[in-house]
Amino acid sequence: MASKKVLVTGGAGFIGSAVIRHLIDDTDHSVVNVDKLTYAGNLESLNSVSDNPRYAFEQVDICNGVELKRVFAEYQPDVVMHLAAESHVDRSIDGPGEFIQTNIVGTYTLLEQARTYWIQLEGDKKASFRFHHISTDEVYGDLPHPEDDILSANPAVIPTEAEGSLAGKNLPLFTEKTAYAPSSPYSASKAGSDHLVRAWQRTYGLPTLVTNCSNNYGPYHFPEKLVPLMILNALEGKPLPVYGKGNQIRDWLYVEDHARALVLVATQGKVGETYNIGGHNEKQNIEVVKTICDILDELVPPQNVIPSEVEGSSNGAKPINSYQELVTYVSDRPGHDMRYAIDASKIQRELGWTPQETFESGIRKTVQWYLDNQAWCQHVQDGSYQRQRLGSKQ
């Protein structure tokens, strides 16, 4: 395959930086990284590739059409991979306006500048241009949970295709044809951006593709998200806050597996198609937390970890025997979806992608990475976020 110039929005973020590292390390493609550098964007995540001649960085807000026009004209990309987004559900509850602005207005602005650029292209460069929009499975709402009474009362809710198995029950999965039913301001804003991308393809002919992924985890993840939050809090003896009963189910996808899938779709996917990307790893949140604790117990036994801020603790608290002792159940998130699960058979069937990491191998790699990269963790927390709870406003 001929090398391409790939414009990646949000390339300093968690998934975006994984995509760029994959593009530079494992392909011949070149990259221009367009990122506003908000609280979750950190160029340290790209230190390993920042000096590569095939990499360039532009600090640009996707809502700034004038600057985007300049970037398109200067770099002449063959592919756009649009990952820039506000992505944390709890933050969207506290301040939904930023999500509307970035995820909807920003996507619209990017689509218009991409369309203006694409229209003036000629020949093979125009024919091969692609706009790949990266989205989330949260746009689909939630799925029946194995603890739902409705499953036993009404078996008809379970379809004959795309079934998952959890706790001995066959349960439906999200497919590319699942209707949208977003629950949070975040997922609603992403649903809106998905609709815009498909409309620009149908109305204007812009060659777009959409992917919807399950929960990502792995290196360079901002500490407000579940996995890094649990690791870092545990190491400091802080509470490990678990929403509700911790029985919310997610399909966990290792970020480097996701990055491979995204580049595959961007370069080989069929225009106008949607591809769901999942890790084949349905886990309850409490299972994830306990697995992290068990790995930490093994790698950094907590002989000298004294719990802080845990209910009932005092200055005379004794060291813990296991990090699981730090688990603290808190009130659930408003509108919390109970189960997500992806049917990723289409991308496997049509593009040959499957995840390389199991949850067990991926989570161990992730815990080890955070143990080895404490300096990155300190630098990415800029002072405005100190792992406090977000999204509890009613």
CB 17 within 8 A of CB 3: no
90, 137, 257, 357: which one is catalytic? 137
78, 86, 138, 257: which one is catalytic? 138
Is 137 annotated as catalytic? Answer: yes
Is 186 annotated as catalytic? Answer: yes
Is 117 annotated as catalytic? Answer: no
Backbone angles phi, psi at 105, to 5 degrees: -65, -40
CB 348 within 8 A of CB 275: no
186, 217, 220, 323: which one is catalytic? 186
For the annotated catalytic residues, the residue numbers are 137-138, 186
